[in-house]
Structure 1
Amino acid sequence: MNYSNRLILFVDILGFTNEIYSSINDKSKINILKTTLENLEILFRKNYSGDLMEFSQFSDSIVISFPIDYPGGIYYIVTNASFAMHSLFSNGFICKGVISVGQLYHEGNFLFGPEFLNVMKLEALENMPRITISKKLLKIAEEFPGEGNKDYPKAEIEYILNHLEKVSPTVYEIGWYKDYSSLVGESNEDTQQHYLLIKELIEKNLIKFKSIRIQKKYLYLRKNLLSSREISDFKYKLNYMRYLQLLPKHLIESTSNFLVKMYWKKK
């Protein structure tokens, strides 16, 4: 037995734990939670034709992985990470995560290895609701393009970049705010309706925010949505009184978050 080089997507569903606690008194939420996870598993299994992919779900996280040399693997994992974000939006959730590659053992119920520790660390250090991917993985995409692009590896990169947005010189994020129609082939009207649904989700959580830390996540989503879509009339206005009331809680959260990040940086 040994580790193998595998592509890996690690996604943490934000707010899932709170919904679990809420479901104790509101049983209707149990079905929403189950449907949310089922939709993700169906999504990844439906869009993968081989038997080399592994899918694991635990608590509020999902992990998929498959061999590094799978043809078109990076394109598959990028586009389906975006699908996953849209699916979660439709069920009222946001997420953060990371796409990476490295030494991993992932078979059935067993998931461990150096790269799993690394992606957990990267996800824990991420503050914003986004799925990131290192620029270096584009070299893997060029080396193992999909069957249709095996003679045109540069075209494979172009297709992948259509679903990404640069965060830094070495890191991209999934550009969910610009690619829905290209993913699902919907009409402009249906696409606009989908983004309006996301707008309502963002707006609802900004208006009723109970944490400055969470508010910043939805403000990040709002900024991305407004920068790429013709969407206006956001009702959100900063409630200064609520903001001031939440500052002591924010201080505690920030201190806790800082300690968590220090822990992961040392691992």
Structure 2
Amino acid sequence: MTYERRIIGFIDILGFGQLVLDSEDDVEKFDLIKSVLEKINSVDDIYGSPEDFFAYSNYSHLSPTAKQQMDELYESMKAAAGPKRVRITTFSDSIVFSCSADSDGLTDFRYFLTKLLVYTSPFKLLIRGGVTCGSLVHTDEIIFGPAMNNAYYLESKVAKYPRIVVDEKFECFIEELGKDTLTDLVKQELIRTEDETISYIDCLALTTNKVAQNMCGANAYEMLLNEKSTIETLIKDAPEDPKIASKLEWYVEYFNEFITRKAEVEVVVSHVQGMPVETAMIPVSELRVRIP
């Protein structure tokens, strides 16, 4: 066993600890926790299933013979990609995932994070996290290394707000890969703070992109509607705690800035044999959140 250079994300579900405490005497909250954890544990990378992997085909409408051929191709490609697939460890309210520090790993990382964000969106919970790249051991049984320590530090000490920050080691890794479609896209999905000391992932861009729609079945407009509902519910139910208020205020600013920047989103409105064939641009300006 030796260290590998890997991309690692450490994600924390904000408010989950209190939810667990409350669940002992609240059946609805217990069921919510169970649903959230089941969804998280069902998140997989691009090789999660033939339907995921062949998302751009009409897989579900194929004949049994054609499906068998596709399944055989899927299994062979999944086996070949085994060593580089996303590895996942969950405990309590935290999710740690990592993948190889190369172009294939970056593709799987981006897909996994998109799917995680899509899957947790309906539960009215916000997430905070840290992403880095470095030396790590991550197996089904153990996870440790400098990169793990750094990812945890980013989540717990640097992120502060409901955002997923990335450090210079991750950004240097992106630069090392060179200029191509994927790295250009990832760079566009990073937001740098005004003082240029912290970059964070534009999570709303991920949940409304083509990957989220084609491979996760997400509706871009509904994803934003979910977030608006989450914000309004949390504001209504939040205790009078300045720390919680500052986190919500930050997220409202980010959400409204995204709405202003995006103006409209592309939504699939019709399918033929499982394949999207028609889309429409839907305005989103009316989703802007107003703080009471």
Same fold per TM (> 0.5)? yes
Residue 193 (structure 1) aligns with: 222
For residue 137 of structure 1, the aligned residue among 158, 167, 170 is: 170
Displacement of 1:83 after TM fit?
Answer: 3.4
Contact 1:102 1:114 in 2 (8 A): yes
Contact 1:196 1:231 in 2 (8 A): no
Query: Helix, strand or coil: the match of 1:44?
Result: coil
CA distance in 1, matches of 2:12, 2:219: 27
Contact 2:155 2:165 in 1 (8 A): no
- The alpha-carbon distance between structure 1 residues 169 and 76, as it changes in their structure 2 partners (threshold 3 A), is farther
Runs of 4+ with deviation above 6 angstroms: none
CA distance in 2, matches of 1:231, 1:47: 37
- The alpha-carbon distance between structure 1 residues 118 and 180, as it changes in their structure 2 partners (threshold 3 A), is closer
Residue 38 (structure 1) aligns with: 38
Contact 1:103 1:114 in 2 (8 A): yes
- The alpha-carbon distance between structure 1 residues 99 and 143, as it changes in their structure 2 partners (threshold 3 A), is same
Q: How does 1:136-215 map to 2 (within 5 A)?
A: 136-141=169-174, 143-144=176-177, 153-167=179-193, 169=196, 171-182=198-209, 183-185=211-213, 190-210=219-239, 211-215=241-245
Unpaired runs of 5+ residues, structure 2, are 49-77, 260-284
Residue 16 (structure 2) aligns with: 16
Deviations 1:56-98 (A, max 9, x none): 00111011112223x3322432343243234323112111111
**Aligned AA for 1:117?**
N
Q: Does 1:236 align with 2:291?
A: yes
For residue 248 of structure 2, the aligned residue among 215, 218, 232 is: 218
Query: Helix, strand or coil: the match of 1:95?
Result: strand
Residue 78 (structure 1) aligns with: 110
User: Identity over aligned residues, as a percent?
Assistant: 22
CA distance in 2, matches of 1:40, 1:46: 15
Deviations 1:158-217 (A, max 9, x none): 22123222225354212123343313237xx94223212211111121123212211211
- The alpha-carbon distance between structure 1 residues 201 and 226, as it changes in their structure 2 partners (threshold 3 A), is same
Query: Helix, strand or coil: the match of 2:205?
Result: coil
Contact 2:131 2:164 in 1 (8 A): yes
Residue 74 (structure 2) aligns with: none
- The alpha-carbon distance between structure 1 residues 104 and 231, as it changes in their structure 2 partners (threshold 3 A), is same
Bigger CA drift: 166-175 or 23-32? 166-175
- The alpha-carbon distance between structure 1 residues 31 and 201, as it changes in their structure 2 partners (threshold 3 A), is same
Query: Helix, strand or coil: the match of 2:249?
Result: helix
CA distance in 2, matches of 1:66, 1:14: 24
Computed over aligned residues only, the root mean square deviation of the Cα atoms, in angstroms, reads 2.5
For residue 58 of structure 1, the aligned residue among 81, 91, 98 is: 91
**Aligned AA for 1:141?**
I
CA distance in 2, matches of 1:179, 1:118: 24
CA distance in 2, matches of 1:110, 1:64: 12
Q: Does 1:114 align with 2:140?
A: no
Query: Helix, strand or coil: the match of 1:178?
Result: helix
Bigger CA drift: 156-165 or 42-51? 42-51
Contact 2:3 2:145 in 1 (8 A): yes
- The alpha-carbon distance between structure 1 residues 21 and 46, as it changes in their structure 2 partners (threshold 3 A), is farther
How many residues get paired? 227
Contact 2:46 2:112 in 1 (8 A): no
TM-score with structure 2 setting the length: 0.69
CA distance in 2, matches of 1:214, 1:37: 23
CA distance in 1, matches of 2:184, 2:145: 31
- The alpha-carbon distance between structure 1 residues 233 and 66, as it changes in their structure 2 partners (threshold 3 A), is closer
TM-score with structure 1 setting the length: 0.75
